[in-house]
């Protein structure tokens, strides 16, 4: 659970909120008044960290979550990026092996 502020689509007004991970692929954000936004981690766009500036997450529906807990966000999204890299490297290895056997046989 990561504390921060949530901005609804097109709104300048913030609400206190928490960003929560359900499992390794999905999340939900719960605001102080009970509004819940949820989805897949892979579809969340996280802005890169600039020193100690707050981190922004942008969701598919256009809403945003802002927090100063940069290290916690890095830990969550490094795991997501790492699992995506494993799949990509697996496919690249498969294509390399297929090409190797095609041209050597």
Confidence check: pLDDT of 2 > 80: yes
pTM of the complete model: 0.68
Residue 46, domain member (yes or no): yes
For residue 14, what are the domain limits? 2-76
In this predicted model, what pLDDT tens digit does every residue of 45-64 receive, in sequence order? 887 766 677 888 999 989 99
CATH number, domain containing residue 58 = 2.30.29
What average pLDDT does the segment 89-104 reach?
68
In this predicted model, what pLDDT tens digit does every residue of 71-88 receive, in sequence order? 888 887 775 444 445 555
Residue 103, domain member (yes or no): no
Q: Is the dihedral of CA 72, 24, 94, 91 positive or negative?
A: negative
Min mean pLDDT across 6-10, 12-16, 77-81, 83-87 is at: 83-87
Q: Is the dihedral of CA 29, 55, 14, 59 positive or negative?
A: negative
């Amino acid at each position: 659970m990561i504390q921060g502020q949530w901005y609804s689509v097109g709104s300048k007004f913030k609400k206190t909120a928490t960003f929560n991970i359900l499992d390794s692929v999905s999340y939900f954000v719960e605001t102080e008044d009970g509004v819940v936004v949820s989805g897949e981690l892979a579809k969340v766009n996280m802005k890169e960290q600039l020193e100690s500036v707050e981190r922004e997450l942008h969701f598919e529906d256009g809403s945003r979550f802002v927090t100063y807990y940069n290290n916690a966000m890095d830990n969550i999204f490094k795991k997501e990026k790492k699992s995506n890299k494993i799949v990509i490297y697996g496919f690249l290895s498969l294509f390399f092996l297929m090409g190797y056997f095609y041209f050597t046989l």
